[in-house]
A and B are shown apart, each in its own frame.
Chain A
Amino acid sequence: MHEMSIAGSILEAVRTEARRFPAGHVQKVAIRIGGRAGVDPEAVRFCFDVLVQDSELEPLTLVIDFREQGEDLDLAYLEVEDGAAAART
């Protein structure tokens, strides 16, 4: 059960990236998991939701692209609601 550490690493990456958007909020983070990565997608999701709950990152959605083949455990993309851009319009 290293999914809690994995979820923690995903949130660490989100926090790092979020600093580039002080006025924005990260809405979504997407990851890719390969069947040989030894990581259970549903357990990652469970741990992720537990860690996000009541944190400054809430609300934050996790998108998981699971592929039968491969050993991937990759961060794919973020979606940011840019508050500054929204304020300009």
Chain B
Amino acid sequence: MERLPLERKVLSENDRLAAGLRARFAEHGILCLNLVSAPGSGKTSLLERTLESLAPTERVAVLTGDIQTENDAKRLARYGFPVRQITNGGTCHLDGRMIERGLEGWDLAAIELLLIENVGNLVCPSSYDLGEAAKVVVMSVTEGEDKPLKYPSIFFKSKLMVLNKLDLLPYVPFDVAAAEHNARQVHPEIEIVRTSCQTRVGLEDWLAWLRRGMSQRVAVQV
């Protein structure tokens, strides 16, 4: 019996694809963000408000992942920017190959901001690098404040936490300070913005964060 050391990551093939994507994004000066949340935290609504706030001349594109249906792409396509649905037929996350296929036929030179909406899931997407400059985790006030403690991996790997559905605070027993404290316990440097996609509170903070990222495209790399 012969023992052979392997010593590489299980997902080294995905890491290779992600490195290729990251190089392409850098070459074209694209800021790519990977939005992750539990199902129903408001990723699509946040993207709707984002696209609606941008001038039609902005060079933005969206890839949105779901297990089934083109519903999200239909919702997002109304704003006139290039949007493509990735339906992966059952996989609980997006991977580098799906992003490569999703980008096929798009002129990357015409894109400055690429927003990827991952499949609603706080566990699996944290393992798959998509070549993004940063992950953004969306959490809403209808969830438990301890979510960052229960799913530390994604909060640890995200540069920004968007605390969404702020308009529902009067109706739910949610402690904002505790939730933010929990996120910082897992990831002390995590940045936080609070938003409501209904009242539009805090959207300016989110858009300002996006603009900062775009103006410092190298600095945002994590």
Q: Give A6 to B123 CA distance when docked, in angstroms.
A: 13
Number of contacting residues on A, CB 8 A? Answer: 29
Number of contacting residues on B, CB 8 A? Answer: 28
Secondary structure at the B interface, as helix, strand, loop or mixed, is mixed
Q: What string of 1s and 0s marks CB contacts (under 8 Å) between A71-84 and chain B?
A: 10111111111100
Q: Give A17 to B6 CA distance when docked, in angstroms.
A: 9
Contacts of B9 in A (CB 8 A): 73-75
Task: Identify A76's interface contact among B6, B13, B123, B128, CB under 8 A.
Answer: B6
Query: A39, B156: Cβ atoms under 8 Å?
Result: no
Q: Give A27 to B153 CA distance when docked, in angstroms.
A: 32
Query: A78, B4: Cβ atoms under 8 Å?
Result: yes
- Is A10 positioned at the interface, with any CB of B under 8 Å from its CB? yes
B contact residues vs A (CB 8 Å cutoff): 1-14, 91-93, 95, 123-124, 126-128, 151-154, 156
A contact residues vs B (CB 8 Å cutoff): 1-2, 5-6, 9-10, 12-13, 17, 24, 27, 29, 31, 36-39, 71, 73-82, 85
